[in-house]
């Protein structure tokens, strides 16, 4: 099932998205999408609504350097244990919403990533049980002010600006995340192309690691790291991240006033 969140003429709602292309329809879910959703009976053509970020997260937990080729392009060996950091939930935006480059940074980069969406409160989850606590998977762009990431001891500023966490276009609940193509295009030019099978720590290991540190709540999002090929974005450009089996997340880039 594809789960999303929309702005319709009647307000904001969680929906399931059914069908493809011009005939795709959004069906309104009563209350929240966790567990077995119930439907209100209202529906709208996908073409008539605006997709928002597909989930409301209390936190976005991210893995750094989870692909060896990306660790190498950043000038180091990958860490033995996962390195994690948090993006504030205020950095989340949906498809087609502009990524805003702050005037304080001279270099704002894309990082295409597979994102995990948690479906229930959990802690101390064994890797083999991770799929029991996962609602589904979506596409993320871990937007990074690279100059500030390099200048600061930690990454809160460089990773935390408003609009620096595009998510979407929806959550795919039926997906094996172990070997999917992940691709990032800037103005249609392929910049990143890799496979999730090249992650150093797979989804199960990541959920186990993070849930030993902090309780994960329904809607929390985990960004699983970016492959090689990261690079800067300029105002006026458009960035798209595609994960096989989910879809494409596209955002324009603009300068924040």
| Interface ranges with Mg ion (CB under 5 A) | 111, 142, 226
Q: CA 194 to CA 183: how far, in whole Å?
A: 7
Q: Give me the least distance between CB of 223 and Mg ion, in Å please.
A: 6
3/143 with CB nearer Mg ion:
143
CB of 133 to Mg ion, least distance (A): 22
Residue closest to Mg ion when measured from CB atoms = 142
Phi then psi for residue 167, to 5 deg, are: -135, 145
* Positive or negative torsion for Cα 164, 169, 170, 174: negative
Of the pair 13, 143, the CB lying nearest Mg ion is at 143
Q: Which is nearer to Mg ion, 111 or 185 (CB)?
A: 111
Which residue, among 218, 115, 224, has the nearest Cα to 170 in the 3D structure? 115
CB of 31 to Mg ion, least distance (A): 32
Strand partners, 66: none
Indicate the residue among 135 and 241 with the shorter CB distance to Mg ion. 241
CB of 61 to Mg ion, least distance (A): 11
CA 70/CA 109 separation, integer angstroms: 13
Rounded to whole angstroms, the Cα distance separating 201 from 161 reads 27
Q: At closest approach, how far in Å is the CB of 27 from Mg ion?
A: 33
Q: Look at the alpha carbons of 122, 159, 6, 246 in this order and tell me if their dihedral is positive or negative.
A: negative
* Residue closer to Mg ion, measured from CB, 15 or 222: 222
User: What is the rounded distance in angstroms from the CA atom of residue 198 to the CA atom of residue 184?
Assistant: 16
Q: What region, left, alpha or beta, does residue 236 occupy, with left being phi > 0 and alpha being psi -120 to 50 degrees?
A: left
Of 94 and 227, which CB lies nearer to Mg ion in the complex structure? 227
Q: State the minimum distance, in angstroms, from the CB of residue 12 to Mg ion.
A: 28
Enter the tokens of residue 167.
């998510």
């Amino acid at each position: 099932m594809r789960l999303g969140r929309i702005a319709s003429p009647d307000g904001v709602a969680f929906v399931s998205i059914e069908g493809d292309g011009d005939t795709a329809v959004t069906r309104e879910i009563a209350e929240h999408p966790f567990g077995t959703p119930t439907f209100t009976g209202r529906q709208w053509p996908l073409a008539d609504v605006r997709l928002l970020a597909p989930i409301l997260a209390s936190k976005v937990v991210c893995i750094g350097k989870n692909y060896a080729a990306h660790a190498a392009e950043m000038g180091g060996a990958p860490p033995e244990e996962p390195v994690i950091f948090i993006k504030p939930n205020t950095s989340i935006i949906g498809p087609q919403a502009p990524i805003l480059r702050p005037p304080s940074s001279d270099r704002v980069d894309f990082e295409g990533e597979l994102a995990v969406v948690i479906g229930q409160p959990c802690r101390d989850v064994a890797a083999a049980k991770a799929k029991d606590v996962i609602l589904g998977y979506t596409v993320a762009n871990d937007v990074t002010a690279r100059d500030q990431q390099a200048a600061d001891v930690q990454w809160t500023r460089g990773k935390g600006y408003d609009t620096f966490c595009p998510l979407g276009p929806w959550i795919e609940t039926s997906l094996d995340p172990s070997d999917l193509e992940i691709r990032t295009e800037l103005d249609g030019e392929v910049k990143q192309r890799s496979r999730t099978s090249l992650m150093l720590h797979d989804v199960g290991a990541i959920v186990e690691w993070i849930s030993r540190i902090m309780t994960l709540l329904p809607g929390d999002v985990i960004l699983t790291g970016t492959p090689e090929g990261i690079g800067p974005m300029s105002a006026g450009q458009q960035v798209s991240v595609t994960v096989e089996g989910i879809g494409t997340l596209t955002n324009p880039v603009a300068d924040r006033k």
